[in-house]
Homo-oligomer: A and B are copies of this chain.
């Protein structure tokens, strides 16, 4: 019983991973969560595989101090660049956000033409492209880095003509490739969903990795007999920079979840 009631560990380069937390809370409302956002060293999306992996290993080590029963790598960049290294080093089940998103996209795609938008590092790793090929060999994938999307979301310009123009420029080549499905391959992008919809039209289906990852986690916990037997949940949030800004931004990412008030936003570590 103790074994099952251990918390789930989640990390991200910063605040974006809270979109994954939100979906996990929705799917698994009885699970304790320990979240770590590496806000002192963010972003990961324009850094090398070696550096992102070094940071990710440190983040997992931190979460393991809380005796977590499973770890979710909520950051797409870290999932794309570091998952094999993390799984090699640690025994605890570690889930990334790439596989669940690809699984869903392959399931949804009517014509087998899947677009991926993500950070430069994620696109450069070709992780999504490889996973799509592995899942459905005859499917075509088209990846586009969108380095300005994260700063635009953080500036709060999520419903703005400048951002729409940027979106049209980034997504134009994917629309031209006649994609039928689009993976939003970065935790910040769901906040631009309406605007991206405007840029690409109604025809293309979107896949948000947050929801798919939560469902995958639910399956993994069930399969391993690790679902919590508790009837309530506790949330702890840690960041490597000062928690104040994180606390404010968290509202925007998590939205209105009644149980959020139980979350503690005040702790920090120095990685």
Contact = CB atoms under 8 A, between A and B. Distances in A.
Contacts of A166: 162
Given A147-B155, A152-B148, A165-B162, A47 B40 contact: yes
Contact of A148 (B39, B151, B165): B151
Contacts of A240: 51
A205 interface: no
Interface in A11-54: 39-41, 46-48, 50-51, 54
A261 interface: no
Interface string A143-163: 000011001101100000110
A242 interface: yes
Interface string A114-154: 00000000000000000000000000000000011001101
A155 B162 contact: no
Interface in A181-234: none
Contacts of A55: 40
A260 to B, nearest CB: 23
Contacts of A47: 39-40, 241
28 contacts: A39-B47, A40-B47, A40-B51, A40-B55, A41-B41, A46-B154, A47-B241, A48-B241, A48-B242, A48-B244, A48-B245, A50-B241, A50-B242, A51-B240, A51-B241, A51-B242, A54-B270, A147-B151, A147-B154, A147-B155, A148-B151, A148-B152, A151-B151, A161-B165, A162-B162, A162-B165, A162-B166, A162-B169
Those 7 A-B pairs whose CB atoms lie nearest each other, nearest first: A48-B242, A151-B151, A40-B51, A51-B241, A41-B41, A48-B241, A47-B241
Interface of A: 39-41, 46-48, 50-51, 54-55, 147-148, 151-152, 154-155, 161-162, 165-166, 169, 240-242, 244-245, 270
